[in-house]
Structure 1
Amino acid sequence: MESFNLRLFAWLNAPSHASHLTLSLAYALAIYAIYLVPLLMILGWLHRDPARQRLALKALLGCVFALSVNEVIALLWDHPRPFVIPVGHTYLDHAANSSFPSDHMTVISTLAITLLLSREWRPLGYLFAGLGLGIAWSRVYLGVHFPLDMLGAIVVSALVATLLAITERFYMPSLHGLSRGLYRRLFAPLIERGWLAH
């Protein structure tokens, strides 16, 4: 499996003289695309529709749980990044911590799978799944992850998102109520001015 991982990395990783255009696209996907995740969650929460708020909460909870699983995996198995071994070409500065699973891919995959599990929001889920593939490519291309780091992230995300979807009726009513109360208390001045939905 590790030899396959290295071969696939060598195929996807940027060459020594990568084009400026391709590197710019990879940087945009690897660094900035992930900010669409919290933006979508915030927009979902600020909408007056309780169903959208619950979906945003479920996605947020999924990301927190999935990233926590990643931390446990990293403690149990400290897999080196490509530039630590070293193999390939690296075009992005990154801490030399464990590469498996990818946190970026975990976040985008958790959101995408949460949306895919919702019939109403499935088309948006496909859009974010496509964005996730772009992020996966970019971080391998720039030399900070291996392909299997991305696969591991998808597995973690799928397990967490599915578990939260199955058990939603047990935790969501209390979580939604608590979150609504906290939101109204923290942002009361803005809500009173009409700047935020109540």
Structure 2
Amino acid sequence: MMWLDHLEDANRALFLLINAASQPGPVVMPLAVFAANGLIWLIPALLLVGWLSGHETIRRQALEAALAGLLGLAIAQCVSLALPHARPFVMGLGQTWIEHAPDNSMPSDHLTLLWSVAASFVLNPSARRLGIALCLAGLPVAWARIYLGVHFLLDMVGAALVALLSAAVCRQQRAQVVGLLFNLAVRVYRLVFSVPIARHWLRR
């Protein structure tokens, strides 16, 4: 279809506009690499802190967000198989400044995970501010992964759509799915970490 060709042309043009075509400066490069590969670790750290807080409400929020992230990644894999799209460096476009496997680019797994968790928090009124902050944290990640040559802009748009879908599904099904898995997760946690819990190193 002609409109798809135009969309692909725009996608490539926007990539070349954002991608670092020449050697990035000594300040920009480490910041971009950190944003591309480091900020994602906010997600497991926040979920872990939420769970270890010991508060049931926060634990349920963390579990729902974790499930949204996992569902988002699963949907992303299906999208990648259904709509395969090569990465910029596979197509010989722009410059690539970090190593990456030559797999399909659509959608970005990093952004899918980050924004799925963020969207889950946004849909939860008591965690909305945290969700908005995480959504904003995803913007430099999106920029950096394009800037460093491993993704297109539409990969980030795809990640946002998948994230919204996964978070909405988990929110709608929270009473059934989260309710069922929460009790199981608590039992497993208390069994595996029974010693540090008994010594009051971790909250029950």
When normalised by structure 1's length, the TM-score is 0.97
Q: Equivalent of 2:158, from 134, 149, 152?
A: 152
Counterpart mapping for 1:108-147 below 5 A: 108-147=114-153
Shift of 1:181: 0.5
Q: Does 1:173 align with 2:179?
A: yes
Letter in 2 for 1:5: N
Shift of 1:15: 2.2
Q: Which residue of 2 aligns with 1:59?
A: 65
Shift of 1:17: 2.4
Q: Does 1:46 align with 2:49?
A: no
Q: Which residue of 1 aligns with 2:4?
A: none
Letter in 2 for 1:175: L
Q: Which residue of 1 aligns with 2:203?
A: 197
Letter in 2 for 1:86: G
Deviations 1:36-60 (A, max 9, x none): 1000000011112111001110111
Q: Which residue of 2 aligns with 1:83?
A: 89
Q: Which residue of 1 aligns with 2:191?
A: 185
Shift of 1:78: 2.2
Shift of 1:87: 0.3
Deviations 1:71-92 (A, max 9, x none): 1122223211000001011101
Question: Which contiguous aligned blocks of 4+ residues in structure 1 show a shift greater than 4 angstroms?
Answer: none
CA RMSD of aligned residues (A): 0.9
Distance in 2 between the 1:149 and 1:96 partners? Answer: 15
Q: Which residue of 1 aligns with 2:167?
A: 161
Letter in 2 for 1:22: V
Shift of 1:135: 0.3
- Specify every segment of 5 or more residues in structure 1 that has no aligned partner in the other structure, as ranges: none
- Specify every segment of 5 or more residues in structure 2 that has no aligned partner in the other structure, as ranges: 1-6
When normalised by structure 2's length, the TM-score is 0.94
Distance in 1 between the 2:186 and 2:27 partners? Answer: 45
Shift of 1:151: 0.4
Q: Which residue of 2 aligns with 1:7?
A: 13
Letter in 1 for 2:62: A
Shift of 1:101: 0.4
Say which is worse superposed, 162-171 or 28-37, in terms of deviation.
162-171
